[in-house]
Chains A and B, each alone.
Chain A
Amino acid sequence: MGKKVAFLQGNEAAAHGALYAGCNFFAGYPITPSTEVAEVLSAELPKIGGKFIQMEDEIGAMAALLGGALAGSKALTSTSGPGLSLKQELIGYGCIAEIPCVIYNVMRGGPSTGMPTGPSQSDVMCAKWGTHGDHPAICLVPASVQETYEEVIRAFNLSEKYRTPVMVMPDEIVAHMRERIVFPEKGEIEIIDRKSPTVPPEQYKPYDTSFGDVPPLASFGSEYRFHVTGLNKMQDGFPTTKASVVQEEEERQVRKVEGNADDIVKFEEYLLDDAEIVVVAFGSTSRSARYAVNEARKEGIKAGMFRLITYWPFPEKQLLALAKRGVKAFITPEMNLGMTHGLVKGCTEGNAPVLGIFRVDGEPINPGQILDKMKEVK
């Protein structure tokens, strides 16, 4: 028997990817262009005894998500720009209290209500810097329906492995386009669950670093009971203002992600071996970039693409290596006013010029624009 195949929309694929990953809890608030995720899960979760709740707003949804996750669920929420802004305080809570959960955010035009049905890639900075304070950030940016399915699974795995909120952020085009998808068989993709404590209950500390940078997490309602707070905390979960402890804990929270960047950072190298012009692209823009690279090659231009699949942590090391190897120029096409452009400039340390193509008019970047930019490179 062959593999199951379907023709799905990105958002529908996200919902099914979540189910494959073991998601059994969803809390959300409707917002275009992400609502289909909620609609699919409102139908599918009860079938497996899972929980679906439509909350009163995105803050409530994020709160319920964290509550559900602490009670042992694998929890997902879906939203878009304005909703992502509302969730920010509690995303920070998830980071400091180290609660695994997945936030699926479809990027639409912004700021504010912006263009509810227009595509955008302008939430990538919000994914990292939206909540206040230093904190870890993991953000995945799929470019196809199949990849959306797979990245949602990877997001659950990373959130469970590193005990932290993880974001998946397709742009509106990826979220709403329909493509063929081949479902993996059960067991084909590894599913990771949070590390549970093995110590006797009276010895359990929710942030016990003797188990490494990612301490085991028990669930509410289990044989373990513990305290959780959004205040800076000690290993036993209780608040502290002791300078050395706060410093250590803050550094560990960031280190557990940044220090494992090699495990989290995922990218595609397309025709990079001899590339003199490197397009750094992600999401639907990378589809135009691939087309442009192919066209350029036909014309004898040595172009290639570095496609980001993980946006945060940003693949600084890889891009710097490319720059140092000798590249005539980087090109960053993106549906925002230069967020990736700035990052690439920063991490390539002046080894090569970085040319930007920025679009925020709700229209996709087309291959012709990228090809034209390549031709500007001397």
Chain B
Amino acid sequence: MAFDYEKYIRPGKLPHIWCPGCGHGIVMKGMIRAMDTLGLEKNNTAIVSGIGCASRLPGYIDCCTLHTAHGRAAAFATGVKMAKPEMTVILVGGDGDGTAIGGNHFIHACRRNIDMTYIIMNNYIYGMTGGQFSPTTPHMHKASTTPYGNPDPSFDIAKLAIGAGATFVARGTAFHANQIDKLIVEAIQHKGFSVVEILDDCPTTYGRRNKFKSVIEMMNRLKEVAVPVKAAEKMSPEQLQGKVLTGVLYKEDKPEYCSEYQKVIERAGGGAR
């Protein structure tokens, strides 16, 4: 029997706003499958986003959903989680939202290791505003504000997350749709701040400026560059040139923020919340 996505979709909220060929919908489907696998209770799950095409995702999900301001999802979510640690808190958003304007909140959520899962849809561009370059736009690629090619170097989101202290970091792609839910399941199960970066596509504002003839070509590129971590172990540095590792990249057990704060409450002699 086909999987029933409607279970977690808010009645009457589709169709979504995304363009044909946009990868965000693939990520949303993966997220829904993961929620179903874990049997997440809708009233006990908060989905928090910033602003951008990717950040429109929460509106479609039948949970406690919070569409915040550009870049601020991690900080709003931190407040929700602190107030109600028993809730499952999932953050979603784009590369611009999370690593440019929201970069500070992102690294500090990683550092605190607060038990939330951040699904970041990296389409290498500011999609919603028409294709300006983001902190992940590859060097020399074209965006509406880099007509001569992007002079900026780009972030490796996974490395950034690991460096900042996230204790679970994974990467998938919109092409490898069947892997997305598995990564998200593992991320949500992990106690601590988990980051799942999904390499995504934006045919409308990034693809067409960078000579991708079709969505299929963009998807094929994701397929070509992705190398599962296991496979990469057997590959030489030359073979890994230009490739991107996928799968669970990092996992560590470290004290989680809300649990640590509970100890503060106990030290202060405070009762239960």
Contact = CB atoms under 8 A, between A and B. Distances in A.
A238 interface: yes
A7 to B, nearest CB: 24
A53 B80 CA distance: 12
Contacts of A24: 273
Given A46-B264, A90-B72, A65 B59 contact: no
Contacts of B44: 221
Give the residue among A24, A56, A228, A231 with the most B Cβ atoms within 10 A.
A56
B5 interface: no
A67 B64 contact: no
A227 interface: yes
Given A56-B104, A56-B108, A60-B108, A67 B80 contact: yes
Q: How many residues of B sit at the interface, in one of the four size bands?
A: 35 or more
Interface stretch (A68-76, A282-290, A354-362): A68-76
Contacts of B81: 67
A73 B82 CA distance: 10
Nearest to B265: A46
Contact of B80 (A46, A50, A71): A71
A175 interface: no
A230 B59 contact: no
Contacts of A75: 79
Contact of A238 (B13, B62, B77, B79): B13
A57 interface: yes
A60 B111 CA distance: 14
Interface in A91-140: 93
Nearest to B85: A51
A221 B13 CA distance: 22
B43 interface: yes
B78 A64 contact: yes
Interface in A25-62: 25, 27, 43, 45-51, 53, 55-57, 59-61
Nearest to B45: A225
Contact of B79 (A64, A221, A227, A239): A64
A270 interface: no
B108 A55 contact: yes
B67 A221 contact: no
A173 B13 CA distance: 53
Contacts of A273: none
Contacts of B82: 25, 27, 51, 53, 64, 67-68
23 contacts: A27-B79, A46-B267, A49-B272, A53-B82, A56-B108, A59-B105, A60-B72, A63-B72, A63-B105, A64-B78, A67-B78, A67-B83, A71-B79, A221-B44, A222-B43, A225-B42, A225-B62, A226-B65, A227-B10, A227-B58, A228-B65, A229-B59, A230-B68
